[in-house]
Amino acid sequence: MVKYENPSIETPIEAALERELPICDSHHHLWVRSGARYLLDDFLLDISQGHNIVSTVAVECGAFYRPQGQDELKPLGETDFLENVAKQVSSDPKSVIRIAAGIVGHADLCLGDAVALVLEGHLKSSSGRFRGIRHSSTWDASGELRSEAPRGLLGDRRFREGLACLQRYGLSFDAWLYHPQLGELADLARALPGLTIILNHAGAPLGIGPYAGQSKKVFESWSDGMAAVAGCPNVMVKLGGFGSERSGFAWHRRSTRPSSTEIAAAITPYIEFCVEKFGAARCMFESNFPVEKRANSYVVVWNAFKLITRGYSGDERRALFHDTAARVYRL
């Protein structure tokens, strides 16, 4: 079993900036898959490098499902696992970080109203930490990107029935999709104005496949879509995830990882656009570890966010780094 990183890639040595600034990491995973592991000890090592991480939100990734029982209830195994992680950390008298203070699990929302049984199972498993559901709707017409859902899932009647059930249980929906689908998300948000929706990974602007070398065109399309979504007050957005292969920066292919200054220069237009359109009170930074770990270190990612926001007000920075996530996920 190998850890989720490439030891042959050199990492810039940087000290954590502004170590006193409280951070809620609004999006990370713990998993064992594809021959790689990223578990609590790995995460603790990453977050202990100087940034003031005070709490985290653990998000589903299809890991640790129950091996037996009804298929629709198998995702409860992941919530069981994350709840045990949270208890393990909180029981340590030396720990000052609330790992998995909020848990986002998975349920098949296409079950419609019948998803209530699954939601109740998650809630019973989590000792009050369970906050919502993520059900991927990623789809792209090119066939060159990973599609985890059928076309038009966000408009599916049964899917929306499942989302309405989420709302009745006071749970939120983490939306994971690609930037060409942002218009579909805006339509969904308008149809369910009482549902809290958290858009993952800044709406995932794409830079591979047919989108490679089209950064200007992609930014225009992405910004149009994000502006439409920002017009829906029930939608929040997570800022991060740019180190993933889909973004097209190809940092994971380099012999030396980028510095925080280089990352900041590359993603500032996206971050500033989101904060301008949504406002800091609807934006939250995320590490997206260990996905981001293929390209960037934990210290460097948060340093980049701090560099980008140095000109922001104190209230805006507190919201972006901690308060929005803590409020939206009720931590």
Cα 321 from Cα 55, distance rounded (Å): 11
Cα 318 from Cα 305, distance rounded (Å): 12
- Give me the pLDDT at residue 2, please: 46
Alpha-carbon distance values, 188 to 24, 121, 129, 281 (Å): 27, 26, 26, 21
User: Residue 4: pLDDT above 90?
Assistant: no
DSSP percent split of the chain into helix, strand, coil, nearest 5: 45, 15, 40
Q: What is the rounded average pLDDT of the residues 235-254?
A: 97
CA dihedral of 39, 41, 46, 52, whole degrees rounded to 10: 110
Would you call 236 exposed, middle or buried from its count of C-beta atoms within 10 A (0-12, 13-18, 19+)?
Answer: buried
Name the CATH topology of 2-328: TIM Barrel (3.20.20)
Residue pair 293/248 in contact (Cβ under 8 Å)? The answer is: no
**pTM summary value:** 0.96
Would you call 90 exposed, middle or buried from its count of C-beta atoms within 10 A (0-12, 13-18, 19+)?
Answer: middle
Q: What is the rounded average pLDDT of the residues 156-185?
A: 98
User: Residue 309: pLDDT above 70?
Assistant: yes
Q: What is the rounded average pLDDT of the residues 66-86?
A: 97
Residue pair 308/21 in contact (Cβ under 8 Å)? The answer is: no
Cα 46 from Cα 190, distance rounded (Å): 39
User: Residue 102: pLDDT above 50?
Assistant: yes
Helices (H), 94-174: 116-125, 157-168
pLDDT digits (tens, 9 = 90+) for 29-60: 999 988 899 999 999 999 999 999 999 999 99
> Which among 297, 274, 261 has a CA at the least distance from the CA of 46?
297
- Give me the pLDDT at residue 35, please: 83
User: Residue 6: pLDDT above 60?
Assistant: no
pLDDT digits (tens, 9 = 90+) for 183-225: 999 999 999 999 999 999 999 999 999 999 999 999 999 999 9
pLDDT > 70 in the chain, percent: 97
- Give me the pLDDT at residue 95, please: 82
Backbone φ and ψ of 103, nearest 5°: -120, 130
Q: What is the rounded average pLDDT of the residues 214-238?
A: 98
Q: What is the rounded average pLDDT of the residues 235-253?
A: 97
Handedness of CA 176, 182, 183, 189 (dihedral sign): positive
- Give me the pLDDT at residue 130, please: 98
Q: Quick one: which H or E segment has residue 273?
A: helix 260-278
> Which among 174, 187, 215 has a CA at the least distance from the CA of 57?
174
Cα 260 from Cα 302, distance rounded (Å): 8
In the chain, what are the domain boundaries?
A: 2-328
Would you call 216 exposed, middle or buried from its count of C-beta atoms within 10 A (0-12, 13-18, 19+)?
Answer: exposed
Q: What is the rounded average pLDDT of the residues 264-275?
A: 98
Q: What is the rounded average pLDDT of the residues 121-136?
A: 96
Looking at every residue in the chain, the average pLDDT score rounds to 95
Local confidence band at 240 (pLDDT 50, 70, 90 cut-offs): very high
Q: What is the rounded average pLDDT of the residues 266-271?
A: 98
